[in-house]
Amino acid sequence: MSASLERGLNAFREVMDAPIASFFNSCVHCGLCADACLFYTETGDPKYTPIHKLEPLRKLWKSEYTLSGRLASLVGLGASISDAELEEWSPLVYDSCTLCGRCTLICPVGNDITYMIRKMREGMAAAGHAPDGLTDATRKSIELGSPMGIKLKAFLAQVRGQEEETGIAIPVDQAGADYLVTMSSMEILGYPEYLGSLARIFKQAGISWTVSSEAFEATNSGIQIGVSDIAREIVLRIVTAAEKLGVKYVISPECGHAYTALRWEGPNLIGRPYRFEVVHVLELLDQLQREGRLKTEGKLDAALTFHDPCQIVRRSGIVAEPRKLLGLVASDFREIEDAGMVNWCCGGGGGVAAIPRAEELRYTVFKIKKRQIEGTGANTLVTTCANCRNVIEEGLEHYKMDTKVLGLTELVAEYLKKDGP
């Protein structure tokens, strides 16, 4: 047995906790998780059935953690897992799972298949079978602080650009501010106007805020590749910066996995509670609207629909907030089919967008999103995750669809009430 395979199998053993054992034991093999997975529905290939993607982990569980498996091993009939098998399973565990949680939501016995995939990725990464794209992004996260290689100088250049664009100063390392704003790589490089939009909204609302030169990036590659130690290090950077500045709140960007890592998993990862609260930007904007501090005028004169990012709706329950904000600025909002908690993934979450070999498959499964958009008759789509936005824009271009994609924060900022009576 190679050293890397041994590391991978030991990682499987380490993650084999009571929930995973109970999930394997309670699975009734009904196949409903297949119908909940866009990789199965759009290809028809049974290998994309979510529970099937866990077969190597299931084999180890049965062989070492069940009575029948142990007895079989005693007489030389136990199941074995090879390095070649893990290599074969890598595309199933990484390329064809966005960790969207739809299979978990649908499972009739409540098995958290997404949790199991996350844990299986721990072993796959330890055995050296994580895809190159995610491995490279993770390396950059550790060495440079950003999975897309964004350095502080490039971030500050975007800050200055938005200051010039809006005429509003953007505080950097402002100790004692109430809110610390974090961004995702995609927002910094692709949609820097998000930061300018926040500056405009916060100026109107009288928000005390800052960005940090030590923790401006919230994207968590450790969650995506399946290495808890790396996920912990990335979260700890933000925690350290937030506590150093003495902020009361950390604002998660429009990025699903950043929010999941920071809001729900961070305290467990670092082993202690935060000294601040984590809020998603949509939660804050909704709060400002309820308090009368977010005032808009006029509405977009175009039919638009909305894409619910998986981590933000299914893992975090932020469903009503974006719709209330859309009500402020949209004159013709058309709900997409299967909206809210059951919405279909864009096809690029969970690190899939960072895996070059998965591109063809990603365009194939985008067909379900294409049908959803076309079904509304709207030519504008709004979303609240920069990764979703980028993946959807690529899918629209691939299928030559004339659909405009907007970020909700930027859309709200466009319709802020002007100063004056």
Q: What is the DSSP track for 14-78? A: HH--HHHHHHHHH-----HHHHT-HHHHTT--GGG-GGGGGHHHHHHHHHHHSHHHHHHHHTT--
> Does 334 lie in the same domain as 364?
yes
> Does 339 lie in the same domain as 249?
no
Counting Cα atoms < 13 Å in the Cβ hemisphere of 335 gives 13
Type and span of the H or E element at 325:
helix 320-329
Average pLDDT over residues 108-115: 95
What is the residue-averaged pLDDT of the chain?
A: 92
Strands in 256-379 per DSSP E:
277-280, 300-307, 330-333
Q: How many domains does the chain have?
A: 3
> Does 88 lie in the same domain as 13?
yes
For 352, residues 6+ apart whose C-beta sits below 8 A from its C-beta are 94, 95, 96, 97, 98, 358, 362
- pLDDT given for residue 1 in this prediction: 66
**Residues 187, 184: Cα–Cα separation, whole Å:** 5
Average pLDDT over residues 77-86: 83
Residue 226 belongs to a domain? yes
Sign, CA dihedral 142-388-308-132, equals negative
Looking up residue 212, the CATH number of its domain turns out to be: 3.40.50
Inform me whether the pLDDT recorded for 78 exceeds 70. no
Average pLDDT over residues 79-84: 85
**Residues 94, 96: Cα–Cα separation, whole Å:** 6
Inform me whether the pLDDT recorded for 306 exceeds 50. yes
Structural domain for 17, as ranges:
3-130
Nearest to 4 by CA among 78, 114, 81: 81
Inform me whether the pLDDT recorded for 38 exceeds 50. yes
Question: For residues 86 and 124, is the Cβ–Cβ distance under 8 A?
Answer: yes
> Does 281 lie in the same domain as 313?
no
Inform me whether the pLDDT recorded for 324 exceeds 90. yes
Which of these ranges, 47-51, 122-126, 155-159, 211-215, has the smallest mean pLDDT? 122-126
pLDDT of 170-181, one tens digit each? 999 999 999 999
Average pLDDT over residues 14-28: 93
Nearest to 266 by CA among 242, 285, 245: 242
- Output the six-digit token pair for 222: 């450790």
> Does 212 lie in the same domain as 178?
yes
Beta pairing partners, 250: 180, 278
For the entire predicted model, the pTM comes to: 0.92
> Does 186 lie in the same domain as 105?
no
> Does 369 lie in the same domain as 325?
yes
